[in-house]
């Protein structure tokens, strides 16, 4: 899988559901009917810090 950008400038313009990173209005993979949001859209700009702290506090679940 391609490396996910940490803070893309316009995450709303792209579907993040697979390696194709299609424009939001032209989904090629057919994986559902709507675009997959970037984690920054769902959890805020500090999404990576949250994920890292979560994995450090629960090492058995990683």
CA dist., res. 35 & res. 26, Å (int): 9
What pLDDT, in 10s, does the model give residues 15-56?
998 888 899 888 888 766 789 999 999 988 888 887 666 666
pTM, rounded to two decimals: 0.69
3-state SS record for 16-55: CCCCCCCECCCCCCCCCCCCCCCHHHHHCCCHHHHHHHHH
How far apart (Å, rounded) are the C-alpha atoms in residues 2 and 24? Answer: 18
């Amino acid at each position: 899988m391609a490396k996910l950008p940490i803070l893309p400038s316009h995450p709303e313009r792209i579907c993040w559901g697979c390696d194709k990173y299609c424009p939001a209005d032209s989904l090629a993979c057919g994986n559902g009917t709507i675009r997959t949001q970037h984690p920054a859209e769902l959890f805020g700009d500090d999404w990576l810090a949250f994920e890292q702290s979560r994995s450090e506090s629960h090492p058995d679940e990683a």
